[in-house]
Structure 1
Amino acid sequence: MKKIWKLLSVIVVALALGACASDGESASDGGDAADKKPVVTVSTSFLRDMVKQLAGDQVTVETVIPAGEDPHGYLARPRDLKKIQGADLVLYHGLHLEAQMVEALEATGVAVTKDFTD
């Protein structure tokens, strides 16, 4: 249960930072950026569902690995890497579930299982 609270804390902080960035941009962009939601890119549909339950419509959720695909052997395509690079927050399972994408995800993302091995 403690680890779930840590994950929730990460999501809340990311959403708060995204909201702060939007407020600062809206003053210089004439208000257009205020309508833009933070983008959370997740590796699998499981994480997509979790983020939608936790954040609702406060964020835009992008999924890298399509539902039904095996995350262990999925090879990232250029459009997937663009999703990862363009996100405000990247969440992935970790523990090498996304074995072929570990380097790209570790460079920019947060493993939701980071503290599970303690």
Structure 2
Amino acid sequence: MKYKLINSMIHNFTHSFVGDCNYVDDAFVIEDLYKIARLKKGEVVIITWHPVKTEELFKLTPRVRKAIGYYRDWFPKHAENHRVPLEHLTEYRTEVFMANNHQLCVKAVAIDDRGKEYSCYVRP
């Protein structure tokens, strides 16, 4: 296992989730995430991919929950394609929040089985 592959895997997955290719029920998912983050006024909206945490879903819109379902189904295959065995990840999440300058920020964060944290900002 090459641990350096984790960073590109989480960046690509998060970028796909918040990007223009994630169009569900006649709208882009990032539009809903933007509205939620704006209403939270600086609080972080967290979507945990691994391990799955369903309690986070209740704070999200039906469109975002539907997209998360699709992406959770795809995530193991995506990790496999990047040669990142899921047993080497203890946590992986996407954080969405509004910066002080009112810009939308998206951050991918993962922790490996050695306790090392990987994080990168993703441009939606």
Structure-2-length-normalised TM-score: 0.30
More strand by share: 2
The higher-RCO structure (CA 8 Å, 6+ apart) is 2
Larger Rg: 1
More helix by share: 1
